[in-house]
Amino acid sequence: AKHKEKQPKESKENSSKQVALFSHLEIPKGANANSPKDIHPAVLVIGLQFADFKICGANARCIATLTAFKKVIQDYKTPDGTTLSRHLPTHLSPQIRYLVNSRPMSVGMGNAIRHLKLEISTMDIDLADDDAKRLLCEKIDNFIRDRITVADRVIVSYGLQKIQDGDVILTYARSSVVQALLLEAHAKGIQFKVIVVDSRPRLEGKRLLRRLVDAGISCTYTFLHAVGFVLKDVSKVFLGAHAFMSNGALYSRVGTAMVAMMAKEKNIPVIVCCETYKFAEKVQLDSFVMNEQGKDEVLKPFYRNPDEMVNISTTSTPKAGLLDGWLHKPDLKLLNLLYDLTPSKYITTVITEVGMIPCTSVPVV
């Protein structure tokens, strides 16, 4: 009874701390122990990892999702009176819902799941269940190999043509394919320097910086607010992508648009590395209509220590007390958007596994 009495107050406080302009964005419910009983253990595990940002990055999330679904398919048994091609999509639906509740699905994950459902729907209904499951697992492995793993290698081979001796390359946050490209360029003996630009609260660039420095690449690390200062030495900008919209706009980690716009203003080439499975069929014109908020910012804040949002120190321990009691300050709200949109006019070229293309060619690939 006490719990029921508190709920309306919590709900009211929850809504009052949302920024009105972004109140339409759904806050993830989070993975919890009260999940439906038909959720596969492999899906439960990655749902918790997604919710806690233990697995982040479009490629890593997509591979983790498909690998988990492969285990779901291997353990699946078709009920009597139906067929695998008709019942398996129904069995997968709660698994997908659970993952969406943990964290909104990325564009690449959505495309991969649609591809899997298409493969299931076109299966021969006379095929034995074991053969059908083995074939579906092979299709999943082929998708991961062809659209992600091999695609990244091809993108790296194309990207090497854009890096020359003496280049100063700027990159923002951390992209797995940009990281692979820079490491490969260094392994080929190309002499270049890297400027890693980063931002709070995730500080993803630190992981990239660590890998590059360990490989022996000369690096500079700075925050987003200093990007205008460091651009004077930059010869090229390499960026990763969360998705590309059909109007050629880049949907990526928040802050990407600022980096691209400032680079374009100084006539520095902006090169984006992106696999074609991340291409979306929809059009997006701004970062307001569709976006993602950091994990449950209100009563269970993404920032268990909210000082992480405003701390400018490069150490992992923020100065205490900057935002103490922010939940009880009616005029203070924290907004943690994860993505922004970069218009196509600020992007020089897109490197994909099918070649280097302009943004205007995205909808025809």
Residue reference for tokens 């569709």: 290
The answer to whether the bond into 201 is cis (omega within 30° of 0) is yes
How far is it, in rounded angstroms, from Cα 203 to Cα 211? 14
How far is it, in rounded angstroms, from Cα 196 to Cα 227? 10
Q: Are residues 121 and 267 in the same domain?
A: no
**Domain encompassing residue 185:** 164-287+339-364
Task: Quote the pLDDT of residue 317.
Answer: 58
87: CATH:
1.20.120
Nearest to 195 by CA among 213, 214, 177, 215: 213
Task: Quote the pLDDT of residue 40.
Answer: 94
How far is it, in rounded angstroms, from Cα 108 to Cα 279? 8
> What is the pTM for the complete model shown?
0.89
Name the 3-class secondary structure at 350.
Answer: strand
Q: Which of 153, 177, 208 is the last residue of a domain?
A: 153
Give DSSP secondary structure letters for 40-103.
-HHHHHHHHHHHTTSS-SHHHHHHHHHHHHHHHHHH--PPTTS-HHHHHHHHHHHHHHHHHHHS
Mean pLDDT of 148-157: 97
Q: Which CA distances in Å does 351 have to 72, 178, 246, 358, 362? A: 34, 11, 16, 9, 11
Task: Quote the pLDDT of residue 295.
Answer: 61
How confident is residue 27, by pLDDT bands cut at 50, 70 and 90? confident
Share of residues in the chain with pLDDT > 70 (%): 85
In contact, 213 and 187? CB cutoff 8 Å: no
Q: Which of 153, 180, 202 is the last residue of a domain?
A: 153
Q: Are residues 217 and 359 in the same domain?
A: yes
Q: To the nearest whole number, what is the mean pLDDT of the chain?
A: 88
DSSP annotation of 104: P
Number of Cα atoms under 13 Å in the Cβ half of residue 46? 24
pLDDT tens track for 278-317 = 999 999 999 999 999 876 443 344 445 565 565 555 555 5
pLDDT tens track for 219-232 = 999 999 999 999 99
Q: Which of 125, 153, 181 is the last residue of a domain?
A: 153
